[in-house]
Amino acid sequence: MSRKTEPCSTEEAAIIEVRDQDIGLATFDGENRKVLQILAAASELFLEKGYDTVSMDAIARGAAVSKATMYAHFASKEALFAALIREECKATAERMRPPSLDDARFEACLRQIADQFIDVFLDRRALAMHRIVFAEAWRFPEVRHAFLKWGPHHVQRMIAGLLEEACRRGLINLPDPHIGAIQFLSLISGDMPMEWHLGVAPPTAAEMKKLVESGIKLFLNGYSVKAGTTGLKDAPHKVPAPKR
| C-alpha–C-alpha distance, residues 110 and 22, integer Å | 34
Give how far Cα 120 sits from Cα of 96, 144, 196, 200, Å: 8, 19, 12, 16
- Label residues 116-126 b or e (16+ Cβ within 10 Å = b): bbbebbeeeeb
User: Each residue of 91-123: pLDDT tens digit?
Assistant: 887 777 777 887 678 999 999 999 988 888 778
Q: Are 19 and 86 in contact (CB under 8 A)?
A: no
User: Each residue of 117-137: pLDDT tens digit?
Assistant: 888 877 888 888 888 888 888
Q: Would you say residue 25 has pLDDT above 60?
A: no
Domain ranges of the chain: 97-234
User: Each residue of 36-73: pLDDT tens digit?
Assistant: 999 999 999 999 999 999 999 999 999 999 999 999 99
Query: What is the DSSP-derived secondary structure letter of residue 118?
Result: H
The CATH number corresponding to 97-234 among 3.40.50.670, 3.90.780.10, 3.30.930.10, 1.10.357.10 equals 1.10.357.10
Query: What is the DSSP-derived secondary structure letter of residue 97?
Result: P
Percent of the chain predicted with pLDDT > 90: 43
At residue 74, φ and ψ (nearest 5 deg) are: -135, 120
Q: What is the pLDDT of residue 103?
A: 66
